[in-house]
Amino acid sequence: MSMESKIKRALVSVSNKTGIENFARALTQMGIEILSTGGTYAAIQKAGVAVKEVSEHTGFPEMMDGRVKTLHPMIHGGILALREEPSHTGAMETHGIEGIDLVVVNLYPFESTVARAEVTRAEAIEQIDIGGPSMVRSAAKNHRHVGIVTDPEDYGRVLDEIQKHEGTLSNELRRELACKAFALTARYDAAISRWMFEQESAEGLADSTFAPSFATAGIKTLDLRYGENPHQQAAFYRTSGIDEPSVASADVLNGKALSYNNLVDLDAAHALAKEFDEPFVAVTKHNNPCGAASAEAIEDALEAAWSGDPLSAFGSVLAFTRPVNLACADFLVSGNRFVEAIIAPSFDEDAFDLLTGKPKWGKSVRLLACGEYHPSARQVRDIELKKLTGGFLLQERDLRVSSAADLKCVTKLAATEDQVESMLFAEKISKHVKSNAIVLAKGKRVLGVGAGQMSRVDAVRMAIHKAGDEIQGAVLASDAFFPFPDGVETAIEAGVEAILEPGGSVRDDEVIAACDERGATMVFTGERHFRH
């Protein structure tokens, strides 16, 4: 048999039955015999399509509640046989094995099953597909002779090719489908491995927070024009198993194609917004917040956030914790303002019409609706991964939040209630600023941010410069301790009256003394929030 032999027999066994009746009908109309199992067999038969049960084909009944049905030499021999190898074709003749030229399989819904809060371990285990991945891998391995279809989206292409190539598939499509099939089984096994380790960890049976072997996988959802720079290619992949509102799951309602930098900034802005339950707006530029504010009304939060650094806010990315209303849209399109993208729970109809109908904004601004969210929506199991050359790092997300009870006043002058509230607000912002991070605030509004500086005093100077004349009476939050008094001295001399930092420096006494000498207050949190 040659590699171009016509498809005579297809094995169809799918969990996701989208379009399967019409696909099976089209195959039979092309003279292709269909083998099937269980629910797929019943669905195809009910649709009036000729189909043969696998148990009839193998001469062996399904058993053990369907756990054993396709794990049989008549199935895997028919899939794996090399059609040009005499010893293989001889074995087929000797044992009466008929070739299977097309395998149409998708897998039990393991990930959606374990995502249910009430799922039991036994239910989850039963959704670990065995026969499906075995057939997928067998067919993908032997893709020179066998087509493997794992995605209902490919049914149309496969039918077109069979017609175009007079009953077979091109080598190019077989290879493409095989690659997609192995990606599916890799993703499936990665999800199972991760879930099983999480179960062990939750029951206190794991030796570490992290498994000895870690695998992750995603599905490509976007080919990007380029990466951070035009000479770098890039794509966006979505992982599964996490249903937290996110950039990955948001609906893109309007705008030009999302870029690599848009996605990074949107994720950063949204991560900051998830710190807040109240009306809040984050203005993000180059992966750092340049403005942020909370208020009673979302339009007031937007105006206050924008005022933190109006120059940097032009061309920024925004994240809202409330729907974008007409007042917000009117503020954004008025004056010389423009943003690259906005992510929000939703957009009021009149706000959407204004943003998308205004010249300069129109088709350009990217609008993403992610649905309602709160800090409680953040999922601890969605750990952070950072790629290094030759490896990667894993860590838990920094979801710690300080309260007034966590603060330890270390100066002679105690902080007022208003200062405490403002410092706690600023600390949440500092968690999302590149280290070294300094955030200046008044009330619940950011005045200036110092980000990514190699020395903390330089970060202080940058934040002071951004704050301008408004700095008098401001509070300061630092993501880590001050290693020398110079940072707090510079801040207090500029007008800062209260400082929050984790503490822990060998020079804490000198730093505290610098505050006392200048009549400022300082509180320690005991928690560092580096973000590199």
Which CATH number does the domain housing residue 498 bear? 3.40.140.20
Q: Are 434 and 451 in contact (CB under 8 A)?
A: yes
Could you tell me if 93 and 183 lie in one domain?
yes
Query: Higher pLDDT residue, 388 or 243?
Result: 388
Q: Give the residue from 362, 377, 392 where a domain finishes.
A: 377
Q: Give the residue from 333, 358, 377 where a domain finishes.
A: 377
Residue 398 forms part of a structural domain: no
**Using 50, 70 and 90 to split pLDDT, how confident is the model at 59?**
low
**Does 4 score more than 70 pLDDT?**
no
Residue 235 forms part of a structural domain: no
Could you tell me if 190 and 250 lie in one domain?
no
Residue 14 forms part of a structural domain: yes
Could you tell me if 173 and 274 lie in one domain?
no
Give the three-state DSSP class for 405.
Answer: helix
**Residue 498: half-sphere exposure toward Cβ, Cα within 13 Å:** 26
Could you tell me if 252 and 127 lie in one domain?
no
Prediction pTM value: 0.85
Residue 216 forms part of a structural domain: no
Q: What is residue 1's predicted lDDT score, i.e. its pLDDT?
A: 36
d(CA 317, CA 342): 6
**Does 413 score more than 70 pLDDT?**
yes
d(CA 24, CA 10): 9
Could you tell me if 179 and 266 lie in one domain?
no
Q: What is residue 2's predicted lDDT score, i.e. its pLDDT?
A: 39
**Using 50, 70 and 90 to split pLDDT, how confident is the model at 69?**
low
Taking residues 346-356, what's their average pLDDT? 97
Q: What is residue 87's predicted lDDT score, i.e. its pLDDT?
A: 87
Catalytic annotation, residues: 141, 286
410-415: Cβ within 8 A, 24+ apart: 410/503, 410/508, 410/512, 410/522, 410/523, 410/524, 411/512, 411/515, 411/516, 411/520, 411/521, 411/522, 412/516, 413/515, 413/516, 413/519, 413/520, 413/521, 414/521, 415/498, 415/521, 415/523
Could you tell me if 349 and 445 lie in one domain?
no
Taking residues 209-220, what's their average pLDDT? 82
Could you tell me if 274 and 341 lie in one domain?
yes
Q: Nearest 5°: phi and psi at 201?
A: -65, -45
**Does 94 score more than 70 pLDDT?**
yes
Residue 496 forms part of a structural domain: yes
Q: Give the residue from 195, 227, 255 where a domain finishes.
A: 195
Could you tell me if 269 and 177 lie in one domain?
no
- Between 70-84, 179-193, 423-437, the lowest mean confidence (pLDDT) is in 70-84
Could you tell me if 306 and 443 lie in one domain?
no
**Using 50, 70 and 90 to split pLDDT, how confident is the model at 66?**
low
Q: What is residue 202's predicted lDDT score, i.e. its pLDDT?
A: 74
Taking residues 227-239, what's their average pLDDT? 94
Structural domain for 69, as ranges: 9-195
Instruction: List, for residues 260-309, the tens digit of each pLDDT value.
Output: 999 999 999 999 999 999 999 999 999 999 999 999 999 999 999 999 99
77: CATH: 3.40.50.1380
Taking residues 376-402, what's their average pLDDT? 91
Q: What is residue 63's predicted lDDT score, i.e. its pLDDT?
A: 63
Place of tokens 């109006």: 310
Query: Higher pLDDT residue, 346 or 6?
Result: 346
Residue 2 forms part of a structural domain: no
Residue 240 forms part of a structural domain: no
Q: What is residue 226's predicted lDDT score, i.e. its pLDDT?
A: 95
Residue-by-residue DSSP string for 341-401: EEEES-B-HHHHHHHHHSTTTTTTSEEEE-----GGG--TTS-EEEEETTEEEEE------
Taking residues 71-83, what's their average pLDDT? 82
Residue 204 forms part of a structural domain: no
Q: What is residue 67's predicted lDDT score, i.e. its pLDDT?
A: 63
Q: What is residue 3's predicted lDDT score, i.e. its pLDDT?
A: 47
Could you tell me if 435 and 506 lie in one domain?
yes
- Between 236-240, 424-428, 494-498, the lowest mean confidence (pLDDT) is in 236-240
Could you tell me if 283 and 412 lie in one domain?
no
Domain count, the chain: 3
How much is the mean pLDDT over the chain?
91
Say how far residue 14 (Cα) sits from the centre of its chain.
27
- Between 393-397, 409-413, 436-440, the lowest mean confidence (pLDDT) is in 393-397
Could you tell me if 442 and 301 lie in one domain?
no
